Structures are given as C-alpha cells and as structure tokens.
C-alpha cells in the first residue's frame, strides 16, 4: 500500500542542521498517524552534509537519500525527489530550520478540508531587507502568472495534491516549478508559519537565481517575451500606418508636397516595427526548438540510498536521530 505522504527535503550545506531537523520532522510525521516516506536530496553540498545523510540512512533505512553530482538548485533537488516518490500527496520543506517541522499538522488540516495546494506564509520574516523587498515584486509577478491570490510563493513549506504534481511530468529536462502547479490547481490556501533567522550557513538563493526564476515564470506562464515584443511592434506598425494614411487623406502635415523628414521618420519606424515583429517571431521559434531538442538535463543523480520497500508505518516505533 503506497504511503499517503511523500515528504521531500532539499539540502544544501546543511551539515549542522540536518540531524536536528530530521529528528523533529520524523517525530512530527509519526504523530500524525499517517503512512509516509521521506526522501532527502543533497543538492551537491561539498561539506559534511552527505556524510550526515548517510548516517541518518544507516540509523533509519526507511529514508531515501539522493545525491546530485553538483549544485543544481532547489527546484532540481525537489524534482529528483519527486521522481522517486510513491506517495499519494507531496510535502516539501527546507532543512535549514528557518521553518518548524512541528507546524506540518496545521498545513495537513487545511489540506484535509479539500485544498489542492496548501502553502505556508512566513510570519515576520527574518530574512535580510533586500530579500524581503525583492519578494514583494516576485510575489506580485507570480500571483499574476499563476492566477492565484497566494501572498508567499517563496515559502517552501507546502503540501500538494499528488495528481497535480505528476500531471506535469517533472524531470531532468523539466524541473519542478510550483507556479506551474499552483496555476493548475483549483483550490489553494495559505497557513501562517513561524519563520526563524537562519542559524547556520547561507541561503542558496542568490539574487541572480531569484531573477532567473522569475524570468522563467514570465516566459513560461505569461505571454512569452518574444510574443510581447512582437505584439507591441505590430501595434506600433498599425498605428504608424494609420497615421500615414490619415496624413495622405488630409494633406497639410507630413505629406504636404515633397517628402519631408517626418514622412521619412514615420516610414523608418514602420519598417523597423515590422522587422522587429518578424525577428521576434523567428526568435521564439528558435528558442522553443532549442529548448525541446538541445537542452541538456538540469541535474544528474550521482547516487541513491534507497529506503526500504515499505514506507514507514507510524504505528511502528523506531529509534533514529533526534530521539
């Protein structure tokens, strides 16, 4: 019988926090009385994170550990976990202890009331000011492309209906993107969660990674950038043509007598707008063709320490880290 929950955890330089985190997470999961499996993905950490995960697996063979060849980003780490998950539904969470595993039952309660997606919303965020300011803009963009009223897309603490995740067929050439899934969901809600300052290390989300993530959302979910440019150029071309036609019909402005500078400028603008529109359309075709045929995998798995065939039964107590 498959587990009710597949809990997927991404790790990046979490050598100092992973033992405490896993002990608290497992205790919380067992207290829910639900069948679950835990999949922890090492996102190319080169500190002692992988060694700590091996030790956790040795003490608790139910845990599946996935190690990526190199740091590929949180989305790719989650995708590697999704590929190996067997549960009916998904729980995602970071292991840096900025969020409390003990608050999972609050999200599950909202999920049980019929939500397709339950997202944590961080109360009194303890991130640096520049991160919080950027999040305001990022959340504004994602609300529009996802067509959802969530206020904290960046909070990793989420519960998803399994059918929604699997319908997108995420994999090495199509990494997980929560905005895609939320856009497909019919019922989404948020649950306040406590947010703590980061005790160890630094976040793997740099400003450049956040910018690329939001550009991907705008390209993939809103009207493509090339389509926007093409459409704007077409509108400019039509307006310019209308202006020239009116001036021809009602002489006395740019078409009075011999060709004027105004006529030449308008003709150049018309030609440029049409050219940009054509180039943009060709550009969109080329980018999509390249993305489908030539892009390599976003991540590669180096090793998998598979959990036992049967997911953890919460009625069977077992010793492990943090107990």
CATH number for 22: 3.90.550.10
**Lowest mean pLDDT segment, chosen from 73-77, 100-104, 140-144:** 140-144
318: in domain: no
More confident residue, 289 or 121: 121
Summarised one tens digit per residue, pLDDT across range 217-231 is 555 544 555 666 667
- 166 and 26, same domain (yes or no): yes
186: in domain: yes
What phi, psi does 189 have (nearest 5°)?
-150, 165
| 3 state DSSP class of 53 | helix
| C-alpha dihedral (167, 170, 174, 177), degrees to nearest 10 | 80
- Residue given tokens 């956040």 in the structure block: 210
- 196 and 265, same domain (yes or no): no
pLDDT at 221: 47
Number of domains within the chain: 2
pLDDT at 320: 40
310: in domain: no
26, two tokens? 């497992």
Where in the sequence is the domain holding 232, given as residue range(s)?
Answer: 225-293
More confident residue, 56 or 127: 56
Measured distance CA(168)–CA(155) in Å, rounded: 21
311: in domain: no
9, two tokens? 């955890």
More confident residue, 138 or 206: 138
- 252 and 139, same domain (yes or no): no
pLDDT at 146: 75
- 119 and 254, same domain (yes or no): no
DSSP assignment of 156-193, as one string? --EEEEHHHHHHTT-BTTB---HHHHHHH-S-EEEEEE
pLDDT at 123: 85
Q: Describe the strand order of the beta sheet including 188-194 as a list of residue ranges.
A: 188-194, 117-123, 158-161, 89-94, 5-11, 36-42, 64-68, 301-305
pLDDT at 316: 46
pLDDT at 272: 82
Measured distance CA(145)–CA(178) in Å, rounded: 11
85-102 average pLDDT score: 95
- 27 and 168, same domain (yes or no): yes
Measured distance CA(190)–CA(195) in Å, rounded: 15
Torsion region of 322: left, alpha or beta (phi above 0 gives left; psi -120 to 50 gives alpha):
left
- 104 and 204, same domain (yes or no): yes
Identify the band that residue 1 occupies on the pLDDT scale cut at 50, 70 and 90. confident
Residue 323 has pLDDT above 50, yes or no: no
- 231 and 199, same domain (yes or no): no
Residue 69 has pLDDT above 50, yes or no: yes
Residues of the chain with pLDDT > 90, as a percent, come to 47
- 161 and 251, same domain (yes or no): no
- 70 and 112, same domain (yes or no): yes
- Containing H/E element for 215? helix 207-220
Residue 295 has pLDDT above 80, yes or no: no
């Amino acid at each position: 019988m498959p587990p009710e929950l597949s809990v997927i955890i991404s790790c990046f330089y979490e050598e100092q926090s992973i033992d405490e985190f896993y002990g608290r997470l497992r205790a919380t999961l067992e207290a829910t009385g639900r069948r679950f499996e835990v999949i922890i993905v090492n996102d190319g950490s080169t500190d002692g994170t992988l060694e700590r995960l091996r030790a956790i697996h040795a003490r608790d063979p139910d845990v599946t550990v996935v190690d990526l060849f190199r740091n590929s980003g949180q989305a790719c780490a989650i995708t590697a976990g999704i590929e190996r998950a067997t549960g009916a539904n998904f729980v995602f969470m970071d292991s840096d202890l900025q969020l409390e595993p003990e608050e999972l039952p609050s999200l599950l309660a909202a999920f049980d009331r019929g939500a397709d997606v339950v997202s944590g919303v961080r109360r009194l965020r303890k991130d640096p000011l520049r991160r919080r300011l950027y999040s305001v803009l990022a959340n504004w963009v994602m609300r529009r492309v996802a067509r959802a009223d969530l206020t904290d897309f960046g909070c990793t603490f989420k519960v998803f209906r399994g059918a929604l995740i699997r319908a997108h067929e995420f994999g090495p050439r199509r990494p997980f993107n929560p905005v895609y899934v939320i856009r497909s969901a019919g019922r989404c809600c948020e649950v306040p969660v406590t947010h703590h300052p980061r005790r160890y290390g630094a976040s793997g989300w740099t400003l450049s990674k956040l910018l690329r993530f939001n550009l991907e959302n705008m390209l993939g979910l809103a009207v493509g950038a090339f389509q926007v440019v093409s459409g704007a150029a077409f509108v400019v071309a039509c307006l310019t043509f209308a202006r020239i036609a009116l001036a021809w019909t009602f002489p006395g402005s740019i078409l009075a007598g011999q060709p004027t500078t105004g006529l030449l400028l308008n003709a150049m603008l018309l030609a440029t707008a049409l050219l940009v529109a054509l180039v943009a359309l060709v550009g969109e075709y080329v980018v999509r063709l390249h993305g489908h045929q030539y892009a390599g995998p976003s991540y590669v798995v180096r090793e998998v320490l598979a959990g036992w065939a049967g997911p953890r039964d919460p009625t069977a107590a077992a010793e492990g880290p943090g107990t």
